[in-house]
Structure 1
Amino acid sequence: MKKIDWSDPKKKNEAYKKLMKMFNTSKCSVSLAMSFKRNSLLAAKMRYVAVSELGGKQLIEDKENVKNIKILDSKGNVIKCVEDSIVTL
């Protein structure tokens, strides 16, 4: 999950206010842009200004998704659960 955040909540609040005024948008639009949930040209510009001028840092949480795989018998009952994406039988 990627997002742009500030270490100090006061700096984050000030940066959001500056972005809202600079781009004439709402706080909701700025928040969606900083959490990469909005991917428009305006959102990209807001992220660029936040990182380059307002001291924001891009955080990337690289989390591998490990899926639970259920092995079933012919009747649909769970025999075994495997927590790996590669299953050898």
Structure 2
Amino acid sequence: MSREDPQLKVRLPQELKDKITESASSLGRSINADVVARLEQSFNIDSNTTNVKIPVDEIVEALAKRFNDSGLLNLSNTKNSEK
């Protein structure tokens, strides 16, 4: 990217700016490079998967049941032991 590329001034919450700054630092790139990479990634997401609603509770319950049924993990007393 060069200085001749178009520029865009954006307002965002301080918390979001802090997250971007931290992300850029941890990845060893500039804030600008991090923002550009994230924007490009958001446009590359398959449009067929963006509107899929995943019933997370049902998935977790089904996985727990499979583990429990296989004997690899016993969750039968987990709720009772938390009390």
**TM-based fold match above 0.5:** no
Indicate the structure with greater helix content: 2
**Greater RCO, 1 or 2 (C-alpha within 8 Å, sep 6+):** 1
Answer 1 or 2: which has greater strand percent.
1
Q: Which band: TM-score by shorter chain?
A: 0.3 to 0.5
